[in-house]
Structure 1
Amino acid sequence: MSGTSSPGGFEAADALKHSNSRVKQEDLPKNLSMVSIMGLSFAIMAVPFGLSTTLSLSLTNGQSVTVLWGWVLVSLISLGIAASLAEICAVYPTAGGVYYWSAMLSTPKYRALASWITGWLTLVGNWTVTLSICFSTGQLFLSAISIFIEDYVPNTWQTVLMFWAVMAVCTGVNAFFSKHLNLLNTICMIWTAASVLIFLIVLLVTAKQRNTASYVFAHYDATASGYPSGWSFFVGLLQAAYTLTGYGMVASLCEEVQNPHREVPKAMVLSVLMAGLTGIVYIIPLLFVLPEVKIILSVANGQPIGLIFTMVTGSKAGGMGLLALILVIALFAGTGALTAASRCTFAFARDGAIPGSRWWSQYNYRLNVPLYGLLLSSAICCLLGLIYFGSNAAFQSFVGVATICLSTSYGFPILVNILNKRKAVARSTFSLGKFGYFINIATVVWIILSVVLFCMPVSIPVEAAGMNYASVVFMGFAVVSVVWYAVRGRGRFKGPEEVFIEGVDEYSGASSRGGDEEVAVESKDLTHK
């Protein structure tokens, strides 16, 4: 892998020459560290923000038991998925991430198709995660107004315009401050940890009434959902599953990290572990001071966290102060998600798998960012936000499709790895050892179940305006993917850039080298063929 470089190292003429060129992985600046990648993953998951914006989902489907124990359950499952992906990432560290891994783990006959399917799942997942984060951030900003103007209810246009404003901020930070992303990700981890500590202290100190330990750890009520009691619990797991999805997205930055086969796998697993513990520390005090659930679920735009903070502290200023901490975390999350989405778009376009790949596969060295991939990701998110005009449950749809796409994209290479008897990861520098089969199989079973669960409406009976349109958005992108594969991909797409790895069998990926010895990688760009 090449050494550290930065746009500042180019002469002006050279920078202009390279500003809009196709690049290979060894050309990208290696200016991100393991801590930065872990911070990015942690920023995308944005635990206090993710749990706060989806709180109504779990309160509708089980209340305390679903919120707390659902979080614990999904955290353990996510840790298994992250470890399974990290094991593969240690063998194939590249910006293609899971779609590249699916290709390399598959037999030559199905390599192109496997990478195409996984790539589109990853791409749509990255876009819709960014969409859901920025959309709920816009809703949170508007909910701050209702703290001071109690009868204020934002209309559809105000919500969409605020969402677009958040998208503009996140796009601007990515475009013009990319060289500071390392610092921003570190600040995000510190800010999140400090915020959780502040929530813990302020909520417990200021609350005039507290719920019992029995309520926090054992209260279960799913009557608001309309579903059978047991099924409702699983539908409510969308809150935790959505929050804990960002760890696999950071694989798209492998090519901007030195020694990614060691650093990125560690960052993925550690970020999930940190997120799981952070969630527990945030959830327990929140449940101890939680107001009456009926009041929370009656909030017009479905974002009750500002109201909760205000009621608990007994002060509008106090409620706004705590909400401000969440809003900053939200902006970090939106920026981080868009960073990952733009890199994913760039990597997939580099292999000719997206309409207009010539544009989206260009890299701007002056700004140190795949600029057109960034702009495409932002535009797609902004357009999908218009769904809100047709459904007041649009946010749940965005959350659902993001979770489904990312989960299935994670599961595909894990499944192929199982079918190939885990030969490719036999000498991974991040090995799961004798527990590998059990962890891999358990995660695949969960992912299959989650696809069914997260297409369900939050509650029943349901009308058109409150329907979960996750399956509709999912199928819409599926149609685009299939049509583009028939038009261009079937005869020309050969999978991601060919990578020849010393000591690795071409088809099984089984390495003859072990330990922490760095694998030499030579990339060959096929996009010019």
Structure 2
Amino acid sequence: MASSELSHTDEDQAHLESLGYKQRLRRTLGTFDSFAFAFSYFSEISNLAIVLGLGLALGGPAFIWSWPMVVGGMLLVTFLFCELAAHYPVAGSVYNWSKALARSKIAPWLTGWLVVIAVIVAFASMAPAFGLIMPQLWQGFQLVGDGKGQYDFAANTVILGAVFIGISCLFNCVGTRTVSRINKIGIRIEIIASIVFVIAFLFKAKRSPAVLFETADTGTSHHWGYAGAFLAAAIASAYSLTGMDAASDMAEETVNPRKAAPRSMLYAVGAAAVTFFVLTTVALMAVPNPASSRYASGGLPAMIIDVFGETWGKIALIVILMALISAALAVQSFAIRVTFGMARDNNLPFGARLSRVSEKTGTPITLTILIGVIAIAILVLNVRQPQIAGVIGSMTVALMYLAYLGVVGPMLFARLRGRWPAPEHAKSGYFHLGRWGTPITIASFVYLIAGFINLIWPRQEIFNPAPPYHWYLQWSGFLFSSLVVAAGLALYYFYQRHRTGVVAEHVADRSKPLAGALGTPDSVPPSATPGKE
């Protein structure tokens, strides 16, 4: 390691200790590694295989104009997160940021709880894609039946998904460096493939970008007209852009994270925004019929096959599979860090055991395995209850929006009362919004509320698209979100609130006595008393 990196590592460790935590995770990642985790979490090329069809089915090609809206809203949120990451670069970032900003103890706990549930479910919900893609590459991957039976696909998905979850757990147990290497390979392939496909689609273009204004008559049967169809289709865009804080969640393993994490988040959002919009545009310009129902189920791979043939379709599936592998590893890494951040504060049951870091690998092995087991248990729901499993998967984004409100809401109140940012922040030389901070916070707050409402709105075409039709499935967005919040509140009030306190293994050797005041630049206040199981 270069001498400059050593000096940064010493400085990073000292800063972490000023926040109250001992350096336990291994600090081995650079800026590109940090970017790779955030960009892999987005994985827009695999999103185009999974959610592009939803957008086209609900809103036609014109649904793409919801993408700039979502990017704009999430970019505002990212600016706020960059400011926080520059001063509080810790694992469990959203949870710890809420802890630094909120006046109550329940707000940060509930924020962390929502992210933990959302990211673990997101990890599990990626597994069905393996069951969809791998048998198309080789029929031998259809391990259950011939794929035509009622439960063949679902059962096969559970087996393939469980195998990959196990492999992901193994890599995450071995160490962050291994996962990072795989992520970097994956995103390089994804970026190169995206450029190749864009150029190839342009050479095959049959129409102008005016195709992006076609609605495919999707608003004719909607009682709100195309506005209603467009809002429903906008969910496909929202599904594709959360998790930029993954870069900051890896901060305790990143060299100079106070500069690396903000840059990584902004670069990842920018790269994802361009990839999704440009690739969708040129694909719609090149396909024989942009309104074809075939693309509603087949997404980008079906478009590639129709334009270039089966061989290119296979190549596209291989690229998407590699992107999906990279994304799943990044999502589990994110889940591990955000859960670790709460567990070491003894803010989850069995916090001391869950936050224990292996001396050999520098990773929380017990926690990694537990997340894998939970993900497989969620995956099993797909066998007989695919609609319920689909609802749970789609709700992960709504829970992330709600969790982000747990940071942006307290930040807004802190700004309006003059408690954030501290004068020292502007002088620190790190990312700072200055006078734009308050209007950006207000706009982010409004966007997250509007986005959350749109995500949970009781639409049959989203939550109960196929029979049997039940009211509770149509209202499942509201019901599921309420259930998760209620369960979190019950767990906190009846079990967790009197156990909170940094686990002794993680208390900083040179920790400062912190009172949690936002006037000090480096304070994420853990409890003063080490937690006990």
After superposition, where does 1:103-182 map in structure 2 within 5 Å? 103-107=99-103, 110=104, 112-144=105-137, 153=148, 154-176=152-174, 178-182=176-180
| Residues 520 and 390 of structure 1: CA distance in aligned 2, closer, same or farther (over 3 Å) | closer
- d(CA) in 2 for partners of 1:408, 1:305: 30
Deviates more, 1:500-509 or 1:183-192: 500-509
Deviation at 1:140? 2.5
Task: Give the letter for the 1:451 counterpart.
Answer: F
Deviates more, 1:216-225 or 1:29-38: 216-225
- d(CA) in 1 for partners of 2:511, 2:169: 39
Is 1:48 aligned with 2:50? no
Question: Can you give the 5+ residue segments of structure 1 that lack an aligned partner in the other structure?
Answer: 6-22, 513-518
Deviation at 1:332? 0.4
Residues 149-208 of structure 1 deviation map (CA, whole Å, 9 limit, x = unaligned) = 9x9545321222222223223222222353223333332332121010121133344x4x
- d(CA) in 2 for partners of 1:242, 1:282: 17
Where does residue 59 of structure 1 map in the other structure?
56
| Residues 416 and 464 of structure 1: CA distance in aligned 2, closer, same or farther (over 3 Å) | farther
| Residues 34 and 297 of structure 1: CA distance in aligned 2, closer, same or farther (over 3 Å) | same
Task: Give the letter for the 2:492 counterpart.
Answer: Y
* 1:526 aligned to which of 509, 524, 530: 530
- d(CA) in 1 for partners of 2:432, 2:184: 27
* 2:267 aligned to which of 258, 265, 270: 270
TM-score (norm. length: structure 1): 0.83
Deviates more, 1:361-370 or 1:129-138: 129-138
Question: Can you give the 5+ residue segments of structure 2 that lack an aligned partner in the other structure?
Answer: 10-19
Deviation at 1:440? 1.1
Q: Contact 1:171 / 1:378 at 8 angstroms: preserved in 2?
A: yes
Where does residue 301 of structure 2 map in the other structure?
306
After superposition, where does 1:377-456 map in structure 2 within 5 Å? 377-393=371-387, 396-421=390-415, 423-426=419-422, 427-428=425-426, 429-456=430-457
Deviates more, 1:451-460 or 1:337-346: 451-460
Deviation at 1:143? 4.4
User: Paired residues, what number?
Assistant: 497
* 1:87 aligned to which of 83, 94, 103: 83
Q: Contact 1:196 / 1:282 at 8 angstroms: preserved in 2?
A: yes
Q: Contact 1:57 / 1:458 at 8 angstroms: preserved in 2?
A: no
Task: Give the letter for the 1:447 counterpart.
Answer: L
- d(CA) in 2 for partners of 1:290, 1:148: 29
| Residues 295 and 152 of structure 1: CA distance in aligned 2, closer, same or farther (over 3 Å) | farther
Task: Give the letter for the 2:450 counterpart.
Answer: L
Q: Contact 1:121 / 1:409 at 8 angstroms: preserved in 2?
A: yes
Task: Give the letter for the 2:211 counterpart.
Answer: Y
TM-score (norm. length: structure 2): 0.83
- d(CA) in 2 for partners of 1:101, 1:501: 21
* 2:35 aligned to which of 34, 38, 53: 38
Task: Give the letter for the 2:431 counterpart.
Answer: F
Is 1:316 aligned with 2:304? no
Q: CA RMSD for the aligned pairs?
A: 3.5
Residues 200-224 of structure 1 deviation map (CA, whole Å, 9 limit, x = unaligned) = 133344x4x7344322345464248
Secondary structure, counterpart of 1:236 in structure 2? helix
| Residues 84 and 499 of structure 1: CA distance in aligned 2, closer, same or farther (over 3 Å) | farther
Is 1:478 aligned with 2:507? no
Deviation at 1:448? 1.1
- d(CA) in 2 for partners of 1:225, 1:272: 35
Residues 58-95 of structure 1 deviation map (CA, whole Å, 9 limit, x = unaligned) = 1122121112x111221121111111111122222211
Task: Give the letter for the 1:214 counterpart.
Answer: A
* 1:203 aligned to which of 179, 201, 204: 201
| Residues 106 and 520 of structure 1: CA distance in aligned 2, closer, same or farther (over 3 Å) | closer
